[in-house]
């Protein structure tokens, strides 16, 4: 396994470009299962999760190749493969997004129950409820979801659960409904930009979808989808991470190739914390001028403050003046990073689905271990602000969701080095290889092909 060595105490200064959105790319890649022919996707980030999805699609009959302008070409065949194996699905929860496309296009799907980050219980009962409403016969046997349907039919479906709407569930049901007979209405649909991006992609492929970005989706089924060329949206979670990095190090960073309109909640809370935030059409500049101010924050579904930025915000509040409270209504158990931040001197107390943070003037360097993707980012941010040299272990989590994070940090003046962890078991995890499609071209217009 690799680890990061971070020398803290240096403000980040400069410009950084945001990569494509992982959480949009994965369900869009999965949807190519239902699209005959060659679809070209641009602005796909180079990540472990992308590599895992590419491998899974390969097993299901989708060939992936680099395209001349820098994108990736996905060629789906009419093969009969419909089994998504445990060894691949366990690595990444988004693998479950192949369930809807497989069922709609091949009439059968056998998908292992998903894995992913250890951030609490995340059942897929809403996915299954939606697909059953569309006419699927589903049973769970030996750890696999087994689904069958000769032809799905339109239905009225409600997708809200105890923690709100389901993002991947909305993606699964929406993709399946595009090929169902008749009209489907999805109530309490997830409104996240990544869900809307999948919908826009499907529209470019001939799907008839209304209401994207709202809780009510209306989908008129079509007989077939067609390949297209499409550019993935920028990653708002990466953008938010860079914005908080500027504030926590009291630096000045311009975050380029982002969509500020999807970051309104983050921008508002940064300003309340005392950071200067200047918003442009497709970039945001954040300047941390002094010690941040503590405040209360609640992570909620979009357009609220993202749960995927909660850990990074907790790191910022660890250095704030006063007492901060961070609550997560989406994943109430998502606080495993708190114990590691405390190793760096943070004063944090857990109460139910909240943490209460007494800000300290300075964090100190420590050796810490990442528990999940966003916790990894939080520990890197804390290390950048801490006094001394910190070591972050198990950073394979970072490589699942942040493209070239250490390289981008060095471009902003940070002293960061990626090393092999001498304490890890030899061969337990290999470094992320840069594949032959590792430099996507510039996004282009989303036009049918």
* Count of other CB atoms within 10 angstroms of residue 13: 15
Inter-residue contact 220 to 240 (CB < 8 Å): no
Of 64, 74, 66, nearest to 36 by C-alpha is: 74
Report how far residue 311's alpha carbon sits from residue 325's, in angstroms, rounded to the nearest whole number: 12
Inter-residue contact 192 to 227 (CB < 8 Å): no
- Residue 307, phi then psi, degrees to nearest 5: -60, -30
* DSSP bridge partners of 181: 153
Compute the radius of gyration of the chain from its Cα atoms.
21
Stated as kind and residue range, the H or E segment containing 417 is strand 415-420
Q: Which of 97, 110, 117, 205 is flagged as catalytic? A: 117
Report CA 393 to chain centroid distance, whole Å.
21
Of 206, 195, 194, 193, nearest to 446 by C-alpha is: 206
Report how far residue 34's alpha carbon sits from residue 25's, in angstroms, rounded to the nearest whole number: 15
């070239």: which residue's tokens? 404
Question: Is residue 117 flagged as an active site residue?
Answer: yes
Buried residues in 188-215 as b, exposed as e (16+ CB within 10 A): bbbbbbbbbbbbbbbbbbbbebebbbeb
Pairing of strands 108-112, 144-148: antiparallel
Residues involved in catalysis: 117
């Amino acid at each position: 396994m690799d680890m990061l060595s971070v020398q803290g105490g240096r403000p980040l200064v400069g410009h950084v470009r945001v990569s494509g959105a992982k959480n949009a790319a994965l369900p869009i890649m999965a949807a190519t299962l239902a699209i005959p022919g060659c679809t070209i996707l641009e602005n796909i980030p180079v990540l472990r999760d992308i590599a895992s999805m590419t491998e899974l699609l390969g097993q299901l009959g989708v060939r992936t190749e680099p395209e001349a302008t820098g994108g990736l070409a996905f060629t789906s065949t009419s093969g009969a493969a419909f089994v998504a194996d445990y060894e691949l699905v366990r690595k990444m929860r988004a693998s479950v997004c192949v369930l809807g496309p497989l069922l709609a296009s091949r009439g059968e799907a056998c998908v292992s129950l998903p894995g992913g980050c250890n951030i609490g219980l995340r059942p897929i009962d809403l996915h299954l409820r939606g697909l059953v409403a569309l006419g699927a016969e589903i049973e769970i046997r030996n750890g696999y979801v087994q689904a069958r349907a000769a032809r799905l039919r339109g239905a009225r479906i409600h997708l809200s659960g105890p923690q709100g709407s389901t993002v991947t569930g909305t993606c699964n049901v929406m993709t399946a409904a595009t090929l169902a007979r008749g009209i489907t209405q999805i109530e309490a649909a997830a409104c996240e930009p990544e869900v809307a991006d999948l919908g826009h992609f499907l529209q470019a492929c001939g799907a008839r979808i209304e209401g994207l970005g709202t809780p009510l989706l209306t989908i008129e089924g079509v007989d077939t989808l067609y390949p297209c060329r499409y550019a993935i949206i920028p990653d708002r979670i990466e953008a938010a991470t860079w914005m908080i990095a500027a504030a926590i190090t009291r630096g000045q960073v311009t975050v380029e190739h982002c969509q500020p309109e999807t970051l309104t909640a983050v921008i508002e809370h940064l300003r309340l914390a005392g950071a200067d935030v200047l918003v442009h059409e497709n970039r945001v500049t954040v300047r941390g001028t002094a010690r941040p101010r503590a405040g209360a924050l609640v992570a909620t579904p979009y357009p609220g403050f993202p749960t995927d930025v909660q850990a990074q915000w907790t790191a910022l509040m660890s250095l704030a003046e006063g007492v901060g409270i961070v609550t997560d209504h989406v994943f109430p158990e998502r606080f495993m990073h708190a114990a590691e931040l405390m190793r760096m001197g943070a004063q944090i107390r857990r109460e139910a689905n909240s943490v209460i943070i007494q800000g300290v003037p300075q964090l100190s360097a420590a050796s810490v271990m990442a528990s999940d993707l966003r916790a990894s980012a939080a520990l890197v941010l804390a290390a950048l602000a801490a006094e001394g040299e910190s070591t972050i272990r198990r950073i394979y989590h970072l490589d699942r969701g942040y493209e070239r994070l250490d390289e981008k940090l060095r471009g902003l003046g940070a002293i960061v080095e990626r090393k092999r962890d001498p304490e890890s078991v030899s061969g337990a995890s290999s470094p992320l290889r840069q594949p032959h499609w590792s430099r996507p071209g510039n996004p282009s217009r989303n036009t049918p092909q």
